[in-house]
């Protein structure tokens, strides 16, 4: 038996998030169906971080123990062949042998997310389900300044979904920045772990700042309130990407 680390890319639009669903519409289901075509007795996949319905991934990480003597290329290509045949919006970017002790979730040191905002009058014809379209110009400098006020370790109850099952709302934001990229505004966040809906909640509140509806100081005031009611509107899932995991 050999453990493999899989790096997976997916368009989250047609899926109900990463986690396996009873109706089989989780990203996990799509990859496992491909896996079980080539190794029927393979166990279920583990992942570095579950994503919600509609959220995309550029570098989701998973691990699995396999019996057959796969090489990295043959495993990657075999999985992608079955994913392609099934017309899944999922691609396995790499399949690397790793230590038997490797755990894609527990060994993760930092997880990275990016949120894409299309900030122009016209909507996107090509990225309609991959960005949040905002017509009014955003004050990116104010958004970035507001983001810096919540760096560090805090109680993130305000930016936590009411259904979040994490035992503690305490998290440490290691990176949180906002910058313009052509017609888009990107928000990038990095931490060892995040609460349910934390990034989308923080982005929605930053957009309130960018629109001039909140002063910069309101971001920290909302955080300190430890009250979900003080959060701005939650950003839609379509603009969020799980970009990579550091180990």
Residues serving a catalytic function are 52
SS3 letters across the chain:
CEEEEEEEEECCCCCCCCCCCCCCCCHHHHHHHHHHHHCCCCCCCEECCCCCCCCEEEEEEEEEEECCCCCHHHHHHHHHHHHHHCCCCEEEEEEEECCCCCCCCCCCCEEEEEEEEECCCCCCCCCCCCCEECCCCCCHHHHHHHHHCCCEEEECHHHCCCCCCCCCCEEEEEEEEEEEECCEEEEEEEECCCCCCHHHHHHHHHHHHHCCCCCCHHHHHHHHHCCHHHCCCCCCHHHEEEEEEEC
């Amino acid at each position: 038996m050999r453990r493999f680390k899989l790096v997976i890319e997916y368009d989250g639009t047609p899926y109900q998030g990463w986690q396996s669903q009873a109706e089989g519409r989780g990203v996990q289901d799509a990859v496992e169906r491909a896996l079980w075509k080539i190794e029927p007795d393979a166990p279920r996949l583990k992942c570095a971080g579950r994503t919600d319905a509609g959220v995309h991934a550029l570098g989701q990480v998973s691990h699995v123990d396999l019996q057959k003597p796969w090489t990295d290329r043959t495993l990657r290509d075999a999985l992608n062949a079955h994913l392609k045949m099934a017309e899944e919006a999922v691609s396995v970017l790499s399949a690397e042998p790793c230590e038997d002790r490797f755990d894609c979730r527990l060994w993760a040191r930092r997880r990275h997310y990016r949120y894409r905002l299309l900030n122009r009058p016209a909507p996107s014809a090509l990225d309609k389900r991959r960005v949040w379209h905002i017509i009014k110009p955003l004050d990116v400098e104010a958004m970035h300044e507001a983001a810096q006020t919540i760096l560090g370790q805090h109680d993130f109850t305000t930016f936590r979904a009411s259904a979040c099952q994490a035992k503690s709302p305490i998290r440490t934001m290691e990176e949180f920045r906002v910058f313009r990229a052509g017609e888009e505004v990107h928000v990038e966040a990095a931490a060892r772990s995040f609460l349910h809906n934390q990034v989308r909640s923080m982005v929605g509140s930053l957009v309130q700042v960018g629109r001039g509806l909140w002063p910069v100081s309101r971001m920290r005031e909302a955080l300190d309130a430890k009250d979900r009611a003080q959060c701005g509107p939650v950003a839609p899932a379509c603009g969020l990407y799980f970009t990579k995991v550091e180990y």
